[in-house]
Amino acid sequence: MTTYKIVIKKAAQKFIDKQPPKQQQRILAAIKKLPHEGDIDVFKAHEGYYRLRVGDYRILYTVDHGVLTVTVSNADNRGQVYK
């Protein structure tokens, strides 16, 4: 399996940092498995984006298969991330 570089943008990192340590570990463990594993779905509102579900949290990201990079652009609670 090909390894992708994970880039977490400032907004997503800020949300992750605010979570309790146990939740941070859970979210980061799920992100490290991208783009191949997890509860992943195409994010229909924005072309090229995907949604990763981790419990009540949602992580929005893009994948660049050319340079093998996953860019996590946003992370938030289920109802807030889509606003």
Q: Give the pLDDT confidence score for residue 6 in this predicted structure.
A: 97
Residue 44, pLDDT score: 85
Q: What is the pLDDT of residue 48?
A: 92
Q: Quick one: pLDDT at residue 45? A: 83
Query: CA geometry: angle at 54 spanning 51 and 56, to 5°?
Result: 100
* pLDDT tens for each residue of 58-77: 999 999 999 999 999 999 99
Domains, in order of start, for the chain: 5-77 (3.30.2310.20)
pTM to 2 decimal places: 0.91
User: Would you place residue 82 in the very low, low, confident or very high pLDDT band (cuts 50, 70, 90)?
Assistant: low
Query: Is 83's pLDDT higher than 80?
Result: no
Contacts of 31 (CB under 8 A, 6+ apart): 6, 8, 52, 59, 61, 70, 72
Q: Cα separation of 8 and 13, whole Å?
A: 6
Q: Residue 38 is encoded by which pair of tokens?
A: 């997890």
